[in-house]
Amino acid sequence: MKIILTTSVLVITLINTSLAQYMQYPPTHKRAEEFVVAGNTLTDEYSWLENDNSTETKTWVETQNKVTENYMRKLDNRAAVKNRLQKLWNYEKLTAPTYKAGCEFYFKNNGMQNQSVLYMKGIDGKEKLVLDPNALAADGTASITTFGISKNAKYLAYALAKAGSDWTDIYTIDLSTMKTLSKVLNWTKFTSIAWRGDAGFYYCKYNAPKDNGKTFTEANEGHKIFYYNLKTPTTDGSLVYENTKAPKRTFGADITDDEKWVMIYESESTSGNALYLKSTSNSTLPLITISNNFDNDWSVIHNTPTTLYLSTNYKAPNKQVISFDIVTKKTKIVIADKGQLLEVVSGNKNTLLLSYLDNVKSQAYVYNYEGKQLQQLQMPEVCQLASANANEITGNYSMEINTFTAPTAIYNYDVKNNKLSATFIPKCNFNADEYVTEQIFVPVDGAKIPVFLVHKKGIELNGTNPCFLFGYGGFSSHYAPEFRVDRCVFLEQGGVYAVAGIRGGDEYGEEWHKAGIKLQKKNCFNDFIAVANYLCDNKYTNHESLAIHGRSNGGLLIGAVMTMEPTLAKVAIPTVGVLDMLKFHKFTIGYLWTSDYGCADNKEEYEYIKSYSPYHNLKNITYPATLITTGDHDDRVVPAHSFKFAARLQELNTSENPTLIRIDVNAGHGSGKPISKQIDEYTDIWSFVMHNLGMKFK
């Protein structure tokens, strides 16, 4: 990289009419640096912000946060919003139990604990505390990302993240004494934990990063699967699988019930995986290949000594269930593609529980292993079956069910009696009965975009209603009904909450996903713009009363939309967004996203990607009131995306609308963020939204 110019400029000071007396941005200097993309030499004036560990970047972060805090503390509704959020958040929360050897394992939160606490119930039915992450970090930023239980429930291994990073360390607890064993496995990331008996477990790790100050930004390579034996605690274990010819691939490991085979998942992107079986008793035996390419998704649901049952989108864009004979290597369709996305699959020794998306709403059924439908579950009309855990002993399933207006509830499904019973209904300080959820479909280029709308019953939709439109549109993901407690503040103030199921997600299966990737990526943005215009044209809201929001890939969505259509909304909230589309693949695991985005290094994709890259399409024009949010430890979508976008937006925005960045300290991409930090963040987001939409907190 060649430095060709060094200048220092004072970013234009903008004034919000009502906050003119204190609205001023810090200076951000420019240092134009050359880089080459697809044979094109470009300059980046803010690339120095990519070094998040430098003194000048840290100083920039501190000064930007001071400006944002100075703005926020002047907002009249901020204290009231925070007070209401604290009351809303303060309810008991529970997860559906995971079963092992007659024991139950689950997380519980008494309401305002920063992290949920891991408990177990033994065969005697008595509850025991396994691990309280709140005791591991005073600020609540230590979180459990995954855990695995040994075959006879003698041990539990868990991965612990700190300060929101994707890097984790694995610890092991003796469940008879609740003592933590001495050995810690470091530098694990995106790991599974699969026990073989009570002796040890399979896990995934990288080599330790170089000591160069780029632990949270440098590209991650060399993922490996190890087997760690508790009897040899001085090592990280024995290497089970790696691919030195393709160091950017990632892996996952699981084990069959009879423990004869390790199931090895290999991926080179976020879509599609290879799948192999490796003998646990004879390492010289060749791998058994189920799939050796990355064209489709393969996931094992259940297994017998000779047969695997899998869900896959191979020749089935909405997924199907097949069987794989380990001896003959032959496959057979068990439950064919139904034309609706197969979303959740769980199985025990006698039955399969399958949940399909019907216009982004869950419908669940029970089948046997011959593919016969036994029964349909009677669930709420507009809901999402978020998870289902099989109980091998009883044959029943424990499930989490979500709606837009009530917190996650836990249900037990009695298969024999076809009975769904609530076992835990949270009591939140929000009256769900006062609100309604409806669904509309917005036509765009022959497609119909599903949109959920949530608002008070009987509200007059006259075109003046404040509206908060959320979207994602990527990576075969979707947003079915789910409870976001922070949204309650907006709903209580008369707002309309909208969720757009735009292309690029998997609301309608793989074809819907493919319609919004690579050289079709702009379909995502055009869908979202069309939904916003539809809401305004049909008097749900108007452009001056509209706020738009997305996070991660959804942050890209908001960045692209606000640069394509700057007057579409009054407020824009791009959160932890992918905003520099020419460089995203150069940081941490960004290269995995090329399956959706393509790569600017490819000449045939360069111009298209550059044409919508938010950072590169900012101009000297009017932009909406914008609050960019990120975390200083985000090593998934590195904060440089947000830093550079904020600097350039502050430089170029000609309007009086505020353009602020909020950088959470000791926080990452979002997973594991403590409740106290979540409340602080959403206090600022909703205070910012309400102020700039002209809403008064009542």
Which sequence positions are flagged as catalytic?
Answer: 552, 669
CA 680 → CA 266, 325, 340, 577, 639, distances in Å? 39, 53, 39, 19, 19
Total length of the chain: 698
Judge whether 505 and 516 are in contact, CB under 8 Å: yes
Q: Which is it for strands 288-291 and 103-109: parallel, antiparallel or unpaired?
A: unpaired
Cα–Cα distance measured from residue 164 to residue 113, given in angstroms and rounded to the nearest whole number: 17
For the four alpha carbons of 410, 190, 323 and 293, in that order, the dihedral sign comes to positive
Torsion angles phi and psi, residue 6, rounded to 5: -130, 120
Judge whether 473 and 505 are in contact, CB under 8 Å: yes
Cα–Cα distance measured from residue 539 to residue 549, given in angstroms and rounded to the nearest whole number: 20
How does DSSP assign 365-390, residue by residue?
Answer: EEEETTS-EEEE----SS-EEEEEEE
End-to-end CA distance of the chain: 54
Judge whether 442 and 534 are in contact, CB under 8 Å: yes
User: 369: Cβ–Cβ under 8 A, 6 or more apart, which residues?
Assistant: 309, 323, 334, 350, 351, 352
Question: Which residue do the tokens 């669940």 mark?
Answer: 364
Cα–Cα distance measured from residue 558 to residue 564, given in angstroms and rounded to the nearest whole number: 10
Count of helices and strands (H, E) across the chain: 10, 41
Neighbour tally for 336: CB within 10 Å? 13
Cα–Cα distance measured from residue 352 to residue 567, given in angstroms and rounded to the nearest whole number: 49
Question: Which residue do the tokens 């008369």 mark?
Answer: 494
Cα–Cα distance measured from residue 504 to residue 572, given in angstroms and rounded to the nearest whole number: 21
How does DSSP assign 152-193, residue by residue?
Answer: TSSEEEEEEEETT-S-EEEEEEETTTTEEPS--EEEE-S---
Q: Which is it for strands 659-664 and 625-631: parallel, antiparallel or unpaired?
A: parallel
Judge whether 420 and 439 are in contact, CB under 8 Å: no
Judge whether 223 and 250 are in contact, CB under 8 Å: yes
Cα–Cα distance measured from residue 180 to residue 128, given in angstroms and rounded to the nearest whole number: 15
Measure the CA angle with vertex 76, ends 71 and 79; round to 5°. 95
